[in-house]
Structure 1
């Protein structure tokens, strides 16, 4: 018989709180999602691979394109495996001049819709 010993479960802390599905900015199920803003219309995925690759393991890159022109809409996303590497990439590349543009780089946040 155990006396007052409770096992910690990362799934349920109490009936009201669960760590699973917690809303951690930038965290996806597969890594840390980084928002990259102010890309030029001619930017493609290779630019993001080259920028973020030196900081660590990159899972995925996505440049958001205009449906009609297939040009970059000015932003994209990078998913990195490791939080520390993602944070270092953000710290190093936020404010970085790429051509004639200054990049804005941050962890992706979920949009909140106004009622």
Structure 2
């Protein structure tokens, strides 16, 4: 089974330009794909990965590129972060923010069954 790290790098295109990493493989665990429809009508597909070692990740398109966000501490719900972006979910709802600009990029996103 491919490691979660290798799969994430391949998704982002970074594997083509990055030097090989000497990190131990992160054994993949559960994967879930969730589709969201946001307040402005935007559709967002988020892939969630829960590694066997307890780490959690979200892969989603932001600003024209696919990013791997890592789970970080949150007062409630689940929060993922990478670069200046955060994806926060609570139940079936989510919000994508640019933390540097202090701006909501996609708000009031709700899980879609379609």
User: What TM-score comes out, normalization by structure 2 length?
Assistant: 0.28
Between 1 and 2, higher relative CO (CA 8 Å, sep ≥ 6) is seen in 1
Which is greater in Rg?
Answer: 1
User: What TM-score comes out, normalization by structure 1 length?
Assistant: 0.28
